[in-house]
Structure 1
Amino acid sequence: MSETAGMALNRLISQHEFPNQVKQDILTRLQSNQLGNDDDQAKEAYVWQQVRYLENWLMLKGE
């Protein structure tokens, strides 16, 4: 079984210490994406976008 976007997001959050502001930003974005969006592929793609955001944040911080 390959890793889903949600699994990747949970893995990153559990393995790294992100500032609360970063986590809150992602939570707000994900909640907004859920409202009125019935396209499951689009939802998954948006979660992957948030995963990339966290990965890029880690690279910028040197982790």
Structure 2
Amino acid sequence: MKLEGERLKVKELLERGMSQSDIAKKLGIHRYTVKALCEREKSCTETFKKRIEVRSI
């Protein structure tokens, strides 16, 4: 399934610290698609929260 492959790529790139917008550009998909794929994965949300905490410091 194409969507499953994209989900795995999105998860990997988020874990590397890329923003959702940058991931969308790199994969050639809409940023809302990246957001939707992220919301399906709890770990993506946790990674995003960690990035926000790091930026706040």
TM-score, with structure 1 as normaliser? 0.32
Find the structure with the greater CA-based Rg: 1
Structure with higher helix content: 2
TM-score, with structure 2 as normaliser? 0.35
Higher relative contact order (CA 8 A, sep 6+): 1
